[in-house]
Amino acid sequence: MRIIEIDFSFSYLIYFVAIELTSFHEFMTICSIILFCFTFLLIIAHMLPDDTEGKKTAKRLLIFICKLANVVLTILAFIQIFISDWSFDIKEDMEEYL
């Protein structure tokens, strides 16, 4: 839980706001699923053994990739928030899909 608290708390907050503002557009739903998967991948990466130099390098690389993906997904969420014009457009989406 400490990993989620340190590395992903801001990301989950931004995604909550972004999904609320964009009313579950497909792009944000896919990004949220990817963020959720990277959360578990980062937890697994922190649990990997680092007794040899090769395992230590692999562990650092996996942690770096997960943290980089976290930053990229958070930036995408910010972009999606600004694209949505800060409006709750659930009514327009319902009319479009019906």
Q: pLDDT tens digit string along 32-64?
A: 788 888 888 888 888 889 889 999 999 999 989
Spatial contact of 69 and 34, defined as CB atoms under 8 Å apart: yes
d(Cα 44, Cα 21) in Å, to the nearest integer? 31
Q: Report the predicted TM-score, pTM, of the whole model to 2 decimal places.
A: 0.68
Q: pLDDT value at position 61?
A: 93
DSSP label of 51: S
d(Cα 78, Cα 83) in Å, to the nearest integer? 9
List the one residue out of 52, 81, 27 whose CA is nearest residue 60.
52
